[in-house]
Chain A
Amino acid sequence: MESQLRVIEQSFTIRYSTWVHEALDEMPDSFTITDPFISGHPIVYASRGFLEMSGYSRDEVIGKNGRVFQGPDTSRRSVMEIREAIREERNLQISIVNYRKDGTPFWMLFHLCPVFSKEDGRVMNFVGVQVPILKKPRRSGSEFARNAVSLCEDGSGFLETVFGSCRRELCSDSVVELSRILALESVLGVDDAELVDEPCKATDIEQRKATTAMNNILSVLTHYSELTGRLVCRKRCFSGMGPLGASLNISLGRIKQSFVLTDPHLPGMPIVYASDAFLKLTGYTRQEVLGQNCRFLSGPNTDCSVQYQIKESIRTEQGCTVCILNYRKDTSSFWNFLHISPVRNASGKIAYYVGVQIESSCTNEDKQKLRPDIRQLSVVGAIKVAVRSSSMGASTSKS
């Protein structure tokens, strides 16, 4: 876990310099910053305001995914909307229930914003601002009724929500209906802990607070990115896409085995994605392998005929499974039980080749006895799903 925290700290300071922490720490608002390129899409920064609001310490939050603050009363649909916004790399403002460390739930307005790299248009981070939604004073014992009463002052909004699309002719009946329901509620004595599916709407003030905080945070990030040269901006200002979108990265980050993705359409068929496990197996860093052809893993005693076999399979758009002698960065060798497969995107055409490596002498079998070849094929399956799905949308980035 510690090494992951170091990776997280490093990635953040490399992008924004070591002074960004100070600048962000000065802000009173509650917000978190996540990195979709780190496996698990973890939080890489949490503001003082967030820690105060949630009751957690910094160590308990950095490295976690945002879902740890959700709980049983968090509407499934709101979770989905957030997932969708992340997938489509766009802004979102949504009311959602979160949970503090002590287990108490609370409504908040969640404002999500992607931060794009100026260089290649990829999403570098997501910023999430949290503004607690204050409860309106209660008039009856029931939470449902409370929401109804407070929203009823807003008149049309409530009626539209409860009775579906506009049915003006029923308006007067609806008000009668409403009071009957409220009466029924008090008879049943429904407890006030119930949270209904209709989101607790944020006021204009709360929305403005979120937007202002977001603007401030984005300004700080933009400014500090200039110091490191890794410029960011709040809108995607580069029309060409980086090789892999945030959504595909997040999906690939779920796969814990060693594998690489190579792009046959680029000259030299370079590696465009390498899993953490691959880096651990071979001893290289991500920067060292991205853009390289896989042949750098071969060495003096690697069998040329196996290399040829691989080349032929790729040429004929087939998969293959071979055992090849490979070399780590420290020049030690290992037997690589390698499986290669073409991976198609939503157009049905081959987009990448995946190479899944299993160190053959490794006796550290999966605790639950999944055969190595099935394990390899599961990686292929997961990648096929991820690549196909992430390339389906008109609005999503190219995968």
Chain B
Amino acid sequence: MLTIKRVPTVLSNYQEDVCNNDQSVGCGRNCLGNCCLPVSKLHLYEFKKNEDVSVENSTVMFCAEGSPLSFLSNLLMGMWEERMRRGLFRYDVTICETKVIPGKYGFIAQLNEGRHLKKRPTEFRVDQVLQPFDESKFNFTKVGQEEVLFRFEPGNSDKSHFFPCLPVDVDTSSPNVVTINVSPIEYGHVLLIPHVLDRLPQRIDHESFFLALHLAKEVADPFFRIGFNSLGAFATINHLHFQAYYLAVHFPIEKAPTQMLMTGKGLHDRRVMVLQLLNYPVRGLVFEGGNSARDLSDAVANSCICLQNHNIAFNVLISDCGKRIYLFPQCYAEKQAVGQVSQELLDTQVNPAVWEISGHMVLKRRKDYEEASEESAWRLLAEVSVSEHRFQEVKALISESAGLQDGLEGNGMDREEDIHKPLANQVPSCFHKDCLVLR
């Protein structure tokens, strides 16, 4: 069993909430557990249903510089700022120095000495991507409701709606919540927790990923990105969550050139495209296109589930308002645990999760911040990448899973979400007929 000692875990602050929920009911702490949540009131944002392709295409126009901020963006930032004024964060992240490192890619460095003051050992193994939920460990049902900004649920109409302070109805479904991250990496750092009461472990499933994609689309800001870290890829809590924040510069990963790898089948020649990153220290794939957001979402989710089932740790970045999704397999945690990482890199205490891989590095020591260069960032990230050989395997796995888009998926998907799937290393002997793989 492999473990890493020094990985931080987010702790919750307990304070009064905004909806004036009666604290005499529930456990008295106004948490997000079964004791308190069903008798609480939270803001609710219901996002629109848009199956129509033409509606989808119009959102291409909407997400760009110069377009007005979306309602959800205003809601999120307004409530985040309100929590700042209430003192719910451990520090003001806008006081942390940050800069774009000169170079071709423009890696982003931040000096944040206060982020990891309270350290806890990682409470789970880092060599297993799929691990069952453990109630005794920290999870988000233990968080105070003052940290919740709003619920994020699918609506039934073609317009989005906002309902302030609505009683939570847990009978219909377990609520999805967006909470603050009390140790923010950047302004607006939030967590999306799908079906919080279901206590899902940290692994991708189709519905949750689609929810995350919807958040990106509804915020409609190209500088609001959503990230996911699997276990073994520096997720710190084994309770399903996505992270997101605003940073209005392009991430280095977004500037990396790509090459077309394969396409799936789609209606009207609007296929999901899978591309490979070029000239970037970490090997990774990019998903784009698709006849609908659901197509794109499912292609990525299929791929993630495939990696999960083969015990390959990975990170996902949803960028460009949900139009571009990056997937990186990685092995840094394993390397660290078996002592394969140089002491120099270990000393920086950078855990390369999705943000670091995308090019946003939070540094704890001033020395590292002052001396940060494109070369040092590249060197660190090169350690994170899986080898070329492993990457070829990953591509082969994904070519099979991403090809399943034309209604053939059916029951196969549910089986893959079973916890105790054996760790087989299968390489398919034939490709789906609509996939074109360049090796």
Chain A contacts of B428 at CB under 8 A? none
B96 at the interface (CB under 8 A from A): yes
Are A377 and B81 in contact, with the CB atoms below 8 A?
Answer: yes
Chain B contacts of A311 at CB under 8 A? none
Considering only CB atoms, which chain A residue lies closest to B258 in the complex? A197
Chain B residues numbered 83-123 whose CB sits less than 8 Å from any CB in chain A: 85, 94-100, 102, 106, 108
B433 at the interface (CB under 8 A from A): yes
Considering only CB atoms, which chain A residue lies closest to B57 in the complex? A72
User: How far is it, in angstroms, between the C-alpha of A70 and the C-alpha of B67 when the chains are bound?
Assistant: 14
Are B74 and A76 in contact, with the CB atoms below 8 A?
Answer: no
Are A86 and B247 in contact, with the CB atoms below 8 A?
Answer: no
User: How far is it, in angstroms, between the C-alpha of A86 and the C-alpha of B64 when the chains are bound?
Assistant: 12
Chain B contacts of A315 at CB under 8 A? none
B65 at the interface (CB under 8 A from A): yes
Chain A contacts of B164 at CB under 8 A? 369, 371
Of B82, B100, B434, the contact of A373 (CB 8 Å cutoff) = B82
Considering only CB atoms, which chain B residue lies closest to A349 in the complex? B95
User: How far is it, in angstroms, between the C-alpha of A193 and the C-alpha of B269 when the chains are bound?
Assistant: 7
Are B99 and A377 in contact, with the CB atoms below 8 A?
Answer: no
Of A70, A193, A378, A384, the contact of B187 (CB 8 Å cutoff) = A384
User: How far is it, in angstroms, between the C-alpha of A39 and the C-alpha of B74 when the chains are bound?
Assistant: 17
B222 at the interface (CB under 8 A from A): yes
Considering only CB atoms, which chain B residue lies closest to A376 in the complex? B78
Considering only CB atoms, which chain B residue lies closest to A184 in the complex? B436
Chain A contacts of B162 at CB under 8 A? 368-370
Considering only CB atoms, which chain B residue lies closest to A165 in the complex? B279
Also in contact, A76 and B323, with CB within 8 A (given A188-B436, A251-B248, A389-B247): yes
B273 at the interface (CB under 8 A from A): yes
Are A77 and B258 in contact, with the CB atoms below 8 A?
Answer: yes
Are A377 and B77 in contact, with the CB atoms below 8 A?
Answer: yes
Report the minimum CB–CB distance from A213 to chain B (whole Å).
24
B264 at the interface (CB under 8 A from A): no
Report the minimum CB–CB distance from B188 to chain A (whole Å).
7
Chain B residues numbered 158-214 whose CB sits less than 8 Å from any CB in chain A: 161-162, 164, 187-188
Chain B residues numbered 231-250 whose CB sits less than 8 Å from any CB in chain A: 246-250
Chain B residues bordering chain A, tally (CB within 8 A): 66
Are A256 and B95 in contact, with the CB atoms below 8 A?
Answer: no
Also in contact, A197 and B259, with CB within 8 A (given A71-B60, A80-B254, A370-B71): yes
A264 at the interface (CB under 8 A from B): no
User: How far is it, in angstroms, between the C-alpha of A41 and the C-alpha of B65 when the chains are bound?
Assistant: 8
Of A74, A344, A370, the contact of B95 (CB 8 Å cutoff) = A344
Of A81, A370, A389, the contact of B78 (CB 8 Å cutoff) = A370
B142 at the interface (CB under 8 A from A): no
B288 at the interface (CB under 8 A from A): yes
Are B94 and A388 in contact, with the CB atoms below 8 A?
Answer: yes
Per-position 1/0 for B49-73, Cβ under 8 A of A:
0000000010011001111110101
Are B74 and A40 in contact, with the CB atoms below 8 A?
Answer: no
Are B270 and A72 in contact, with the CB atoms below 8 A?
Answer: yes
Are B69 and A389 in contact, with the CB atoms below 8 A?
Answer: no
User: How far is it, in angstroms, between the C-alpha of A193 and the C-alpha of B268 when the chains are bound?
Assistant: 10
Per-position 1/0 for A320-331, Cβ under 8 A of B:
000000000000
Considering only CB atoms, which chain B residue lies closest to A67 in the complex? B64
User: How far is it, in angstroms, between the C-alpha of A81 and the C-alpha of B74 when the chains are bound?
Assistant: 26
Chain A contacts of B271 at CB under 8 A? 194
Report the minimum CB–CB distance from A48 to chain B (whole Å).
25
Pick the most buried of B78, B106, B254: most chain A CB atoms within 10 A of its CB: B78
User: How far is it, in angstroms, between the C-alpha of A368 and the C-alpha of B85 when the chains are bound?
Assistant: 24
Of B95, B247, B255, the contact of A81 (CB 8 Å cutoff) = B255
Of A72, A161, A392, A395, the contact of B259 (CB 8 Å cutoff) = A161
Are B69 and A255 in contact, with the CB atoms below 8 A?
Answer: yes
Are B96 and A348 in contact, with the CB atoms below 8 A?
Answer: yes
Considering only CB atoms, which chain A residue lies closest to B161 in the complex? A368
B11 at the interface (CB under 8 A from A): no
Are A41 and B66 in contact, with the CB atoms below 8 A?
Answer: yes
User: How far is it, in angstroms, between the C-alpha of A181 and the C-alpha of B161 when the chains are bound?
Assistant: 49
Considering only CB atoms, which chain A residue lies closest to B160 in the complex? A368
User: How far is it, in angstroms, between the C-alpha of A357 and the C-alpha of B60 when the chains are bound?
Assistant: 32
Per-position 1/0 for A337-355, Cβ under 8 A of B:
0000001101110000000
B75 at the interface (CB under 8 A from A): yes
Report the minimum CB–CB distance from A165 to chain B (whole Å).
7
User: How far is it, in angstroms, between the C-alpha of A394 and the C-alpha of B273 when the chains are bound?
Assistant: 34
Chain A contacts of B75 at CB under 8 A? 370, 374, 378
Would you give 17 A-B contacts (Cβ < 8 Å), ordered by A?
A77-B254, A77-B324, A80-B250, A83-B64, A87-B249, A87-B250, A162-B438, A194-B269, A197-B273, A198-B260, A254-B65, A254-B68, A256-B69, A369-B164, A370-B75, A381-B187, A389-B223
* Chain B residues packing against A (C-beta within 8 Å): 57, 60-61, 64-69, 71, 73-75, 77-82, 85, 94-100, 102, 106, 108, 161-162, 164, 187-188, 222-223, 246-250, 254-255, 257-260, 263, 269-271, 273, 275, 278-279, 288-289, 320, 323-324, 433-434, 436, 438-439
Taking A381-B77, A385-B77 as known contacts, 12 extra A-B pairs with beta carbons closer than 8 A to each other, sorted by chain A number, are A67-B67, A77-B258, A80-B255, A83-B65, A86-B65, A162-B438, A347-B97, A348-B98, A377-B81, A378-B69, A378-B75, A381-B80
